[in-house]
Structure 1
C-alpha cells in the first residue's frame, strides 16, 4: 500500500553487520516521496486495501485462489489480470483494476 501513496526510491543496501544480532539478509534504505496526484487512483481505497490484504494473505497461491471469496475467475480476467499469477507478480495498476472491479460489483449487487 505504500506504493499507492508514495514513490519508493531505493537509496542503498545495508549489510547484516550493521545490526545486532545480524540478520541473514541484506536490508535496504529507501526514501518515500508522497505523490501530489495519485498515478493510479482507486474508486475506493478501502476496497483496494482489502484486495491487497486478501491477495497477500496466502501469497504463494494464485490470485484466482486468494481472491475467490471476492471475485470470480471471470471477473479477474475481465479486469485485465491473469488469475494464474501470484500477488507479487502484479503491479499497482493491476491491483487497482481488481479493486475497481470489486467496487463496481458491490454497487451493482
Structure 2
C-alpha cells in the first residue's frame, strides 16, 4: 500500500489520521471554542498542531494539554511548542479524565479533530467523566453528527441521538468541507458543541436500561412500539404512560424512553 506523506509525516491510516489544512476553518473552529487564558483545554489528536498553533496565537494561555498516541507526532509537537504544551503520549480511550482534572485543579474543556473511526466510541467513553468536563468541541463525519443531534420524528434519530442527548446538550455549529483536510476524506464533517447537563432534564435512571430499551426499539425501527417492545411491555402498560403504542421507535421522545426505562427498572 502506497504511503501518504503530509509535511514530512507518514500518515497512519490505521488510526484514521486526517489533518486540517484550511486556515479559514481553523479560525472558525477556534472562534467557536472561544478559549480563555485561565481555562484548561485538552486537545485530543492534535496531529501537526494546526488548532494548537491557532489557539496559542490567539490567547496568552499558560499551556495547552495535548493527548496524542503517535510518537512521531508527539516529538514534533514538543519541538514546535516546547513549554506551551503538556503532552500525554497515549491512547485517549484509556485516559483517566478524573485524574487529569485533579492534576490541573479544575474542569476541562475538550476539543479535537477526531478520527472518524473512534469519534462515536469516544463520546460514549466520556459519559462517565461528565462531572469534570465543562464542554467539548469535536468534529464528526457529517452523517454521524446529524444522528447525534437529531430530534424525534426524523429518520436520523436513533439510539445514538438518545444516549448522547441524555448526557449532553448537543449544538451543531457548522459543516466542514472534505477539501479542508489532508488526505481528503470522502465525506464532509460537522463541528458540534457538547455541554454536559448539570441538572439533567430527564428522569434519572440506569443508563444501561435506557440503552437496552432503545437497542430493542431501534433494532426493529419499522415496527410499532407495541410489537418492538413486546418483550418488556404489554400495550396497556405503554398506554398508561401516555404513549401511543402504534408509534414507531423514531417517534418517541427521550423523556418517554426514560419513563419506559424507569418502569422496566422496577420490574
Q: TM-score, normalised by structure 2?
A: 0.35
Q: Paired residue for 2:173, among 3, 11, 33? A: 11
The equivalent of 1:59 in structure 2 is: 221
- Cα distance in 2, alignment partners of residues 12 and 80 from structure 1: 37
Q: Please give the secondary structure, in 2, of the residue aligned with 1:43.
A: coil
Shift of 1:9: 0.5
Query: Is the CA contact 2:203–2:259 (under 8 Å) kept in the aligned structure 1?
Result: no
- Identify the structure with bigger relative contact order (alpha carbons < 8 Å, sequence gap 6+): 1
The equivalent of 1:96 in structure 2 is: 258
The equivalent of 2:240 in structure 1 is: 78
Quickly say closer, same or farther: Cα 1:79–1:9, change in 2 above 3 A. Answer: same
- CA deviation vs aligned residue, 1:40-92 (integer Å, no higher than 9, x gap): 12332221111111111111222111111011111111122111111111211
The equivalent of 2:201 in structure 1 is: 39
RMSD (Å) for aligned C-alpha atoms: 2.0
Q: Please give the secondary structure, in 2, of the residue aligned with 1:38.
A: coil
- Cα distance in 1, alignment partners of residues 179 and 245 from structure 2: 41
- Cα distance in 2, alignment partners of residues 14 and 88 from structure 1: 27
- Cα distance in 2, alignment partners of residues 41 and 57 from structure 1: 24
- Cα distance in 2, alignment partners of residues 90 and 27 from structure 1: 28
Where do 4+ consecutive residues of structure 1 move more than 3 Å? Answer: 14-21
Q: Please give the secondary structure, in 2, of the residue aligned with 1:102.
A: helix
- Cα distance in 1, alignment partners of residues 250 and 186 from structure 2: 26
Query: Is the CA contact 1:13–1:27 (under 8 Å) kept in the aligned structure 2?
Result: yes
Consecutive unaligned residues in structure 2, runs of 5 or more: 1-162
The equivalent of 2:186 in structure 1 is: 22
Q: TM-score, normalised by structure 1?
A: 0.79
- Cα distance in 2, alignment partners of residues 87 and 51 from structure 1: 10
Consecutive unaligned residues in structure 1, runs of 5 or more: none
Query: Is the CA contact 1:14–1:28 (under 8 Å) kept in the aligned structure 2?
Result: yes
